[in-house]
Amino acid sequence: MSSSIAKKYWMALTGLFLCLFLVGHLLGNLQLVFITGDEGQRAFNEYAYFMTHNPLIKVMSYLTYFSILFHSIDGIMLTIQNKKARPQKYMHNRPSTNSSLPSRYMAVLGTFVLVFIATHMANFWAKMHFEEIPLHQVYIENQEGTGGQDALYLTQTGNFFPVSAFENSGDQLAQMEVRNGTEFYNKQVNIKMGEGYKDLHGLVMSYFGKPKEGFPKNTWAGIAVAFYILSMAVLGFHLWHGFGSAFQSLGLRSKKFAKGITAFGKAFAILVPALFAIIPIIIYFF
């Protein structure tokens, strides 16, 4: 019994922590649609770099990964434990009158959300960390007045390096090269001259239907958008019961605050997943 109570306690804490993570992640992702053009690309790529390099954020990230795993495993164990506690079904079982629909399928909903998180991390997090994706580029009018554009790499100090300096041209070898995915080195003196940003903005845009230069077109973009929307709907159902249940498990849902917690939890369960779902829709259609 005490083991079951401890599981519910820790599940509630990890669940509320993940709700905070959702808010922070949402605020960062909304830059994809509310800040457009070059400014939006730069803002999102700078945000992505900060989220993957700041020491404090790194600690919070590992805490988030742990919370996701613990929350999922704990939920599965609680479901199994509850079923073992009732080996026989009730003769007169009326679940619709005793509990809400989301509460009866929390384990199923949570498993679906876990599958979504795994695929989401494989498509974005893993590529950001372990693959060499195109670097952030900006374009300016050709200085020779030919009407074309010159491509430049943006550095984290705000400076720029011509992309042409990294390319062989005829008999002339490239003066610069990219190392470790983002570092710009002068090949002649072997000195690091700066560091660029991986273009996660371009990766996201291409994945949901707006292919950018250097990224392959996703022929399954429509399916990806539909799966994302479905996943956010499932997340909303999971949060509908889970938010209030977490406060209940922690003993914080007193009569005085019960209505407020319930109302806030339902608003959170609708608004946060809906805003997440809007992002790929806007990218795909607009």
Q: Which of 196, 212, 238 corresponds to the end of one domain?
A: 196
Beta bridge partners of 186: 176, 191
Distance CA 241, CA 8 (A): 14
Residue 95 has pLDDT above 90, yes or no: no
Share of the chain above pLDDT 70, in %: 89
pLDDT for 80 equals 74
Residue with tokens 């991986």: 198
* Nearest CA among 209, 268, 212 for reference residue 238: 268
The pLDDT tens digits of the residues spanning 16-62 come to: 999 999 999 999 999 999 999 999 999 999 999 999 889 998 899 88
Cβ pair 47, 29 in contact under 8 A: no
Asked whether residue 125 falls in the same domain as residue 54, the answer is: yes
Among 111-125, 136-150, 229-243, name the one with the lowest average pLDDT. 136-150
Residues 127 and 168 in one domain: no
Lowest mean pLDDT among 17-21, 94-98, 208-212: 94-98
Residues 203 and 34: their CA atoms lie apart, in Å, by 17
Q: What is the extent of the structural domain holding 187?
A: 137-196
* Most confident of the ranges 5-9, 109-113, 120-124, 241-245: 120-124
Residue-wise pLDDT tens digits, 54-68: 999 889 988 998 888
Q: Which of 196, 212, 242 is the last residue of a domain?
A: 196
The answer to whether residues 127 and 171 belong to one domain is: no
Is 71:15 a contact under the CB 8 Å cutoff?
yes
168 and 154 fall within a common domain? yes
Contact predicate 105/238, CB 8 Å: no
The reply to whether 64 and 125 lie within a common domain is yes
Report the alpha-carbon distance of residue 106 to residue 7 in Å, rounded. 15
| SS3 annotation, 130-179 | HCCCCECEEEEECCCCCCCEEEEEEECCCCEEEHHHHCCECCECCCEEEE
- 235 and 100 within one domain: yes
DSSP E strands: which ranges in the chain? 137-141, 149-154, 160-162, 176-179, 183-186, 191-195
Count, residues in the chain:
286
Cβ within 8 Å of residue 237, ≥6 positions away = 101, 102, 105, 109, 269
Give the DSSP letter of residue 198. Answer: B
Q: Is residue 20 domain-shared with residue 124, that is, in the same domain?
A: yes
For residue 241, being part of any structural domain is answered with yes
Domain annotation covers residue 31 = yes
Tell me the range of 99-103, 149-153, 281-285 where mean pLDDT is highest.
281-285
Higher pLDDT pick, 202 / 147: 202
